[in-house]
Chains A and B, each alone.
Chain A
Amino acid sequence: EDQVTQSPEALRLQEGESSSLNCSYTVSGLRGLFWYRQDPGKGPEFLFTLYSAGEEKEKERLKATLTKKESFLHITAPKPEDSATYLCAVRRGSQGNLIFGKGTKLSVKP
């Protein structure tokens, strides 16, 4: 069964304290791994798509990497405005539907 597991469930950091979020997946025929940011009471906002092992994408303080079994979202020197829930999703099948993980809730304190 296709599955996406994110860890930790919650992460509290001090401003400037770098860390990583993990997304492990089991899916037959991966057709893309997606990272989204979700602010409270809002819809998810797209961050990155990764397609193949070894691929990396960067945006400001965020960097996403992909292996054959997992993806990491690295946050360098986070700021309070980076506080949000980060969702990982994998795309499967010809219909291209996304399967989401439960997310990691990140809190960055000043």
Chain B
Amino acid sequence: DAMVIQNPRYQVTQFGKPVTLSCSQTLNHNVMYWYQQKSSQAPKLLFHYYDKDFNNEADTPDNFQSRRPNTSFCFLDIRSPGLGDAAMYLCATRTSGRSTGELFFGEGSRLTVL
């Protein structure tokens, strides 16, 4: 059973048209991440939540925002997508409790910008 679910799997948008990607988890993990991954590149951390505390990476563009209304859900908003924002967006979770510390990833949302 899928534990981290991302929707939509594929999103096509026009240049400048806002997009929202969603992530839900059934693991009750308190830490959630959003990564951006471009073709043949390393996943790049955009931001993460430690419980309700929001942490923005220094080089994450202002065009990207996030919301976490509760433990289970997290959203990535791209206010005015540019061609350079076309990528796979990965949501991941982990527990801050006793564990091996691994991240559990969703299947990703692939964004195309026309």
Residues of A within 8 A of B (CB): 4, 9, 31-32, 34, 36, 41-46, 49, 87, 91, 95-103, 105
Contacts and interface: CB of A to CB of B under 8 A. Distances in A.
Given A49-B100, A97-B48, A42 B107 contact: yes
Nearest to B101: A32
Interface residues of B, number: 28
Contact of B45 (A9, A43, A97, A105): A97
For the complex of A and B, 5 pairs with smallest distance between CB atoms: A43-B105, A100-B42, A46-B102, A49-B100, A102-B42
B81 interface: no
Interface in B34-56: 40-45, 48, 50, 55
Given A87-B43, A102-B41, A41 B110 contact: yes
A44 B43 contact: yes
A49 B102 contact: yes
B21 interface: no
Nearest to B10: A41
Interface of B: 4, 6, 31, 33, 40-45, 48, 50, 55, 88, 90, 92, 94, 96, 100-108, 110
Contact of B42 (A43, A45, A96, A103): A103
A63 B41 CA distance: 24
Given A31-B101, A44-B105, A96-B101, A87 B42 contact: yes
7 contacts: A4-B42, A32-B101, A43-B6, A43-B92, A43-B108, A44-B43, A44-B105
B34 to A, nearest CB: 12
Contacts of B48: 95, 97
Contacts of B88: 41
A95 B101 contact: no
Nearest to B44: A100
Given A96-B101, A98-B103, A42 B43 contact: no
